[in-house]
């Protein structure tokens, strides 16, 4: 179930033409940070962001936003809050 959820989520992000590639990667990083427990995948996508020209400061700012909005007790794992 968890695998299906992640595949479905990321397929929607990358399939549509609404976001730029940079925006798609930022959305992916923020979702991975909110999901938790997927650190290797998150690090990989953060590396992609850096290769695209997104600065470390911008990534930190993004992760701060996620942290403020998905704090302890709000983070979901396998669909549970």
Contacts of 24 (CB under 8 A, 6+ apart): 13, 14
Q: How far is CA 56 from CA 2, 46, 49, 61, 62, in A?
A: 29, 9, 9, 9, 10
Radius of gyration of the chain (CA): 13
Q: pLDDT at position 59, please?
A: 95
Low-confidence ranges of the chain (pLDDT < 50): 1, 73, 75-81
CA distance 41 to 60: 17
Q: pLDDT at position 73, please?
A: 47
Q: pLDDT at position 60, please?
A: 95
């Amino acid at each position: 179930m968890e695998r299906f959820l992640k595949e479905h989520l990321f397929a929607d992000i990358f399939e549509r033409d609404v976001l730029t590639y940079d925006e798609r990667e930022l959305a992916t990083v923020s979702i991975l940070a909110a999901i938790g427990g997927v650190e290797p995948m998150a690090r990989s996508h953060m590396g992609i962001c850096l290769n695209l020209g997104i600065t470390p400061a911008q990534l930190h700012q993004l992760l701060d936003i996620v942290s403020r909005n998905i704090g302890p007790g709000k983070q979901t794992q396998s669909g549970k809050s």
